[in-house]
Amino acid sequence: MLAAASCLAADQASLTPQKPLQGWAAMADKDVDFSLQWFKNQSILAVYPDPAAFEATMAKARQQADADIQHVTNFEGYRQTLAHFFSTFNDAHAYVWMQLQAKTYQWPGFLARYQGGRFLVAGSDGSVANGSEITACDGQPMRQWSERIALYEHMIPENIIPGLESTHARTAPIMFRYRKSPFLKRPEHCTIDGRSVVLDWKSLPQSDLTKLMSAIKPDLGTDVAVTPFGANGAWVRLGNFSPANRQQSDQFQALYRTAPSLRDKSVIVLDVRGNEGGPYEWFMGVLRALYGNDYTNYYARERLKISAVYRLTKQSVDTSTFSPASPGPDAPAAAPPDGITYDEDNKLSLAAMARGDQLLHAPANAERIAKPKRRPINPVHARVLVLTDYDCGSACIGFVDELKQFPGVLQVGTETFVDARTGSPMTAMLPSGNGGIAMPYMTRDGRPRNDNVPQKPDIAFTGNIDDTAAVQAWLEQILSTP
């Protein structure tokens, strides 16, 4: 596990002239400079809604990076400096990723998972029993360890935001994965099941670590499919809202055709565990197929309260989410319409740029979807549950935002991940060639859910949320209780 070393705040930086940066430190410095310039040139937040406040945030991030860089001597220090830099923005749509990967790590013979509010031993080599509870290390509670680690792991794939339940779920598997770091130290002993255990750190190849972490947190996949559940229920797996190919978009089309036949089931479970989001049109297609247009248009109106604001640059208009998709034999089919697509042909964007405007403001309900005057009758007679986990992010949370407006729908599982009101990350490769960065070029004024606020379940699951069989058994028990 990575432990909290003394904080390296900006005021610790020496006031005396520094030696020229070398190696990993020089690369970190260059990559931070590039990232700041990319923020200034492309991010919506650099020009809207409060450029002065964002300028102050960038200055803080630069000052923090300057202090960190003085301690960088290896890849791990470089990697964590960039992650720490991006953590300052506290935005899941602003992040860094690495193409490089360490070949070996150290571990104490076990890893951890976060479950039901507890940190549990997982992936053990037998030295400590799996499932044992870890309550503290080196005298510090595990949640403190988790929050410290989060600052240095705001990076794909973890992309951790501090102060949440998902913080602990995302830090737990990497807590006892260690490489020499100038910012985080490994613990010497931990309290496990009430006993003090001295940690015996040893080498672990990356390939073995990958296998262990895959066993702790299995990949639930991105399929969209319907399977039977219980005596007369339907389990609707929604692994993505962003089809990557024709097969995945075909799965959505098959679901749209099947959905009306599910209305008289005893229960429908909409399983969005691991769904990282995508264009809203795909999940709105699910709602319309299941509930019909009138009922959906009456209740699903959270997204219609949003007034999107886009920053206009050559890059953002060229790669905008409302530009036509690139053609190709395996390209996904077009998403189903959700009202009128705003500025589909980019004419408004290009005209605004020609006038010298930096922003394009879309009105609320730019889709022009009218709300029925009378409350429609619900065509779905089944109980409807939406099953979430800590990885349901971005548009997946938007799906839950809409569903929770539908009478009778319950969220079950764990709370979701979070997002800020920003969106549509603009990517670029770092000058070092070690990885890339992303930052948002649009924001959503008027969104009812605040920045970095998760959707919390009506009924929480305290077991292993990745264990589908266990989750299904739990739900069957809930459904059988009057």
Pick from 463, 477, 440: nearest CA to 230: 477
- What's the pTM value of the predicted model, to 2 decimals? 0.93
How far is 7 from 1, CA to CA, in rounded Å?
A: 17
How far is 254 from 256, CA to CA, in rounded Å?
A: 5
* Backbone φ and ψ of 463, nearest 5°: -90, -160
Q: How far is CA 181 from the centre of its chain?
A: 25
How far is 408 from 435, CA to CA, in rounded Å?
A: 45
- Beta-bridge mates of residue 289: none
- Beta-bridge mates of residue 388: 413
In single-letter form, the type of residue at position 331 comes to A
Q: Domain residue spans in the chain? A: 104-216, 224-418+454-480
- On the 0-12 / 13-18 / 19+ scale of CB atoms within 10 A, 204 is buried
* Backbone φ and ψ of 438, nearest 5°: -145, 145
pLDDT at residue 329, as a whole number = 85
Structure tokens at 353: 């740029």
* Three-state SS annotation for 67-96: HHHCCCCCHHHHHHHHHHHHHCCCCCCCEE
Residues 6+ apart with CB under 8 A from 137: 1, 3, 145, 187, 189, 190, 191
SS3 405: coil
pLDDT at residue 327, as a whole number = 60
Has domain 104-216 been given CATH number 1.10.645.10? Answer: no
How far is 100 from 320, CA to CA, in rounded Å?
A: 28
Query: Is the distance from CB of 411 to CB of 465 less than 8 angstroms?
Result: no
Residue 362 is classified by DSSP as P
How far is 445 from 425, CA to CA, in rounded Å?
A: 17
pLDDT at residue 1, as a whole number = 52
Structure tokens at 132: 């044992």
How far is 430 from 386, CA to CA, in rounded Å?
A: 39
Tens digit of each residue's pLDDT, the chain (482 residues): 554 444 444 344 444 456 788 999 999 999 999 999 999 999 999 999 999 999 999 999 999 999 999 999 999 999 999 999 999 999 999 999 999 999 999 999 999 999 999 999 999 999 999 999 999 999 999 999 999 999 999 999 989 999 999 999 999 999 999 999 999 999 999 999 999 999 999 999 999 999 999 999 999 999 999 999 999 999 999 999 999 999 999 999 999 999 999 999 999 999 999 999 999 999 999 999 999 999 999 999 999 999 999 999 999 988 544 333 446 889 999 999 999 999 999 999 999 999 999 999 999 999 999 999 999 999 999 999 999 999 999 999 999 999 999 999 999 999 999 999 999 999 999 999 999 999 999 999 999 999 999 999 999 999 999 999 999 999 999 999 87
SS3 114: strand
Pick from 402, 438, 401, 445: nearest CA to 422: 445
pLDDT at residue 14, as a whole number = 42
Q: Give the start-end residues of each E strand in 193-266.
A: 195-198, 202-205, 224-229, 233-238
- CATH ID of 224-418+454-480, from 3.40.50.620, 3.30.70.20, 3.90.226.10, 3.30.450.20: 3.90.226.10
SS3 178: strand
- In sign, the C-alpha dihedral spanning 94, 100, 106, 108 is positive
Residues 6+ apart with CB under 8 A from 215: 123
SS3 476: helix
Q: What does DSSP say about strands 410-413 and 459-460: parallel, antiparallel, or unpaired? A: parallel
Q: Where are the alpha helices (DSSP H) in 70-185?
A: 75-87, 142-151, 165-171
